[in-house]
Amino acid sequence: MAEIVFDDFMKLDIRVGVVTRAEPYPEARRPAIKLWVDFGGTLGERKSSAQLTTHYTPETLIGTSVMAVVNFPPRQIGKFMSEILVLGVPDAAGEVVLIRPDMDVPIGGSLF
């Protein structure tokens, strides 16, 4: 694994947001869900496509707090433009489990 310096890590803008809308994304190569996440303030609402269908449904994601990188350039995912990278870790089977705060925190808060 390549080491980075602390300043490299600080370039990432990782924030907490709340899922305001979620829809199935059947056109994706791998099963995915389209997410709209509100970060409040000047960031507002941003969208992402995430491969979360094993553990989550669109209905269960609405109102959920998530952590996301908000300063990557937008990326085209099929016909959907993803503006953020929602963060997760693989379970034992390699399926994504979201990284989320375990208490209520204000939206838009930065990871530090």
- How close are the terminal C-alpha atoms of the chain, in Å? 22
- pLDDT value at position 5? 95
- pLDDT value at position 26? 86
- pLDDT value at position 112? 80
Ranges under pLDDT 70 in the chain: none
- pLDDT value at position 14? 97
96 Cβ contact list (under 8 Å, min separation 6): 50, 51, 52, 54, 55, 88, 89, 90
Question: All domains of the chain, ordered by start, with CATH?
Answer: 13-98 (2.40.50.140)
- The structure's pTM equals 0.93
106 CB burial (10 A radius; 0-12, 13-18, 19+): exposed
- pLDDT value at position 61? 98
- pLDDT value at position 99? 96
- pLDDT value at position 55? 96
| 3-state SS, residue 61 | helix
> What are the Cα distances from residue 67, in Å, to 1, 8, 27, 28?
24, 19, 25, 22
- pLDDT value at position 32? 94
* Cα separation, 33 vs 26, whole angstroms: 8
* Residue written as token pair 């995430």: 50
